[in-house]
Amino acid sequence: MKNLFMGLGIVFIVLGVGDFASGWMGYNFTYFLGPLSSFTPIILGAIGIGLINLGSKN
């Protein structure tokens, strides 16, 4: 279970970094969320960090 949470956490962090980088280059990865799309890299990164922390406690 520990490896599952760690793996999912890393995936969410990579998605957050990718979303930030694509937005910085002019492509909105999460355009369908409207104004909330500017916060999705932070949200994805926070979910990833939370999952990694949850996995390290097990």
What is the per-residue DSSP string for 12-41? HHHHHHHHHHHHHTT--TTGGGGGGGGGHH
Range scoring the smallest mean pLDDT among 1-5, 11-15, 16-20, 51-55: 1-5
H/E element holding 6?
Answer: helix 2-24
In total, how many domains does the chain have?
A: 1
Among 44, 38, 39, which residue's Cα sits nearest to residue 9? 44
Q: Which domain holds residue 44?
A: 2-57
Q: What pTM, to 2 d.p., does this model score? A: 0.88
Query: CB count, 10 Å around CB of 51?
Result: 20
51: confidence class by pLDDT, cuts 50, 70, 90: very high
Amino acid 35: pLDDT: 93
Amino acid 13: pLDDT: 98
Q: Would you say residue 34 has pLDDT above 70?
A: yes
> Rounded mean pLDDT of 18-45?
93
